[in-house]
Structure 1
Amino acid sequence: MNWDIVAGNWKQYSGQVKTQWGKLTDDHLDVIAGKREELAGKIQEAYGLTKDEVEQQIKDFEERNKD
């Protein structure tokens, strides 16, 4: 998954992100705006996960949502 494409089409991807990580609010999604590092930080904050756990979840998300 190319995160430049995600950033450019964030409105489309944000629905998939919200489905995967339901605790993220619309405000979180606005802050993330397609930036992978922001996404990781907000997931970590919302779910209390370690950085490694979050990275694995994002990798799994990327695999499921390949272009």
Structure 2
Amino acid sequence: MNKDQAEGRWREFTAKVKQQWGDLTDDEVLQAEGNIDAIAAKIQQKYGDSKEAVATKLNQLMEKFEK
């Protein structure tokens, strides 16, 4: 996978993340700069979910996305 493909898949994934957690802004997702841990931290901060709960939901979303 080249850089353009990776960036495209990241944009698709973050669109799904924003569907799941609708209060996330475009700026918050952009600040993550391709770092899933940064997105997880922002979700935790904004929604008050535990690290484990966010990780589980993100992993489930990633599994669906990769199919």
- Within the alignment, does 1:55 sit opposite 2:55 as a pair? yes
- Is residue 22 from structure 1 mapped to residue 22 from structure 2 by the alignment? yes
Local SS of the residue matching 1:65 = helix
Separation in 2, partners of 1:63, 1:32: 20
TM-score, normalised to structure 2's length? 0.77
CA RMSD of aligned residues (A): 2.3
Give the equivalent residue in structure 2 for 1:8.
7
Dislocated runs of 4+, deviation >6 Å:
none
The equivalent residue for 1:42 is 42
Post-superposition offset of 1:22: 0.6
Unaligned segments of structure 1, at least 5 residues: none
Normalised TM-score (structure 1): 0.77
* Residue correspondences, number: 64
Greater RCO, CA 8 A, separation 6+: 1
* 1:22-63 C-alpha deviation (Å, 9 max, x unpaired): 111111011012211101101101110111111111111111
Contact 1:7-1:33 within 8 A present in 2 as well:
no
Q: Compared with structure 1, are the counterparts of its residues 6 and 63 closer, same or farther at alpha carbon in structure 2 (3 Å cutoff)? A: farther
- Which residue of the partner structure matches residue 66 of structure 1? 66
Q: What is the identity percentage for the equivalent residue pairs of Structure 1 and Structure 2? A: 33
